[in-house]
Amino acid sequence: MRGCAYKHGATGPTGPTGYTGPANGLNAYASIYNTGGSTTTLAPDVPYAVRMPIVLDSKNITLAENSMTIEEAGTYSISYNMFPNFSAPATVTLEVRSNGTVIIPTSSSATAAVQSYAMSYSGNTIAVLPANAVIDMTVTSTASQTLFFDEDGVEILTVLKLN
């Protein structure tokens, strides 16, 4: 078998250096959650911040119990989960908020027709968030009741900067 020989021309000038991307691919991230059994008493139609006292590692996001503050504006992936048991028939809505305003794709409602009804809420969305946005997860009920968060369930809110 015979090899092919290629003739190379002169090497041209070196082009401009391109943009250097982030070294780790993720410039901001954070997660808060709750794994212990707890109860929350809800008044009708009043948003309540879901209790998430456990904070995980974070970068460029300031963590607090039940909320986080975005330090860098950008496009973020937001993941959330809640698994409560209802104590009374009602429609219960989970929402993730930015500075008190609902991030629309995160609004999810379920109706319990009976007492002691368990529901699972979870999702993921992409949102453009400004610097200093305070992110939290709330639950609202159409009736007075107590939500029970089972020890086997996990309430969690995770935010990852995509750009």
User: Which residue has better confidence, 99 or 24?
Assistant: 99
pLDDT at 27: 87
Neighbouring-strand partners of residue 140 = 93
Better pLDDT: 58 or 87: 58
Dist. CA 161–CA 92, nearest whole Å:
29
- The verdict on residue 121 lying in a domain is yes
Answer yes or no: is 87 within a domain. Answer: no
Please tell me the least confidently modeled range out of 64-73, 110-119, 143-152: 110-119
d(CA 85, CA 87) in angstroms, rounded, equals 7
The mean pLDDT value of the chain amounts to 86
Tell me how far apart the alpha carbons of residues 121 and 141 are, in angstroms, rounded to a whole number: 14
Residue 124 lies in a domain: yes
Q: Does the pLDDT of residue 150 top 80, yes or no? A: no
Q: What is the pLDDT of residues 16-54, one digit of tens each?
A: 876 665 555 688 999 998 877 778 889 999 999 988 888
Residue 80: inside a domain, yes or no? no
Answer yes or no: is pLDDT of 78 > 90.
yes
Number of domains in the chain: 1
pLDDT at 5: 56
Question: Is this prediction's pTM over 0.95?
Answer: no
Range of the domain at 157: 111-163
Q: Residue 151 domain-assigned? A: yes
